[in-house]
Amino acid sequence: LFGIGAVLQERDDYTTIREFVPGGPAQLSGKLAVGDRITGVGQGKDGAIKEVVGTRLDEVVQMIRGKKGSVVRLDILPADAGADGTHRVISLVRDKISLDKQAARKTVLSVKAGDATRKIGIITLPVFYE
């Protein structure tokens, strides 16, 4: 999977950053924040930016994903800006996104209860989808 390493959600016709995948390009850039709204997506260093306000989330995600090492430009409306706030365009280089840290994990523990030993299973869900 090659992209920017951001978990996105649709909110009020905007594609909004919900969280970052640890170690992904979006987090490492330091240029984005949770709650920022993506209003446009451009391919490459100088491709036209297509407005994505009102576009379905899966379509925006497809525009953001691409070949490893390729550039995607995002027109961002900061989380703390109103609808008429100042936009900024940022460039990110797509990279492999490892979802290992988001995967469900299991653990089995042996616990003594009196003379008996019982096994207890624990399931850890680091990310829970809405």
What's residue 105's pLDDT? Answer: 85
**Which domain CATH number covers 96?**
2.30.42.10
What's residue 127's pLDDT? Answer: 66
Name the residue type at position 35.
G
What are the residue ranges in the chain where pLDDT is below 70? 1, 100-102, 127-130
Q: Which domain holds residue 11?
A: 2-100
Tokens 């993506």 — which residue? 38
The answer to whether position 26 is within a domain reads: yes
The answer to whether position 124 is within a domain reads: no
CA–CA dist 42, 46 (Å, integer): 8
As for how many domains the chain has, the answer is 1
- Rounded to two decimals, what is the model's pTM? 0.75
Provide φ and ψ at 107, rounded to 5°: -140, 140
What's residue 85's pLDDT? Answer: 92
CA–CA dist 85, 127 (Å, integer): 31
Name the residue type at position 52.
V
The answer to whether position 77 is within a domain reads: yes
The answer to whether position 121 is within a domain reads: no
Q: Which of 56, 20, 21, 49 is nearest to 36 (CA)?
A: 20
What's residue 113's pLDDT? Answer: 87
The answer to whether position 48 is within a domain reads: yes
The answer to whether position 128 is within a domain reads: no
The answer to whether position 112 is within a domain reads: no
CA distances 64 to 8, 59, 84, 110, 126, Å, are: 11, 9, 24, 45, 24
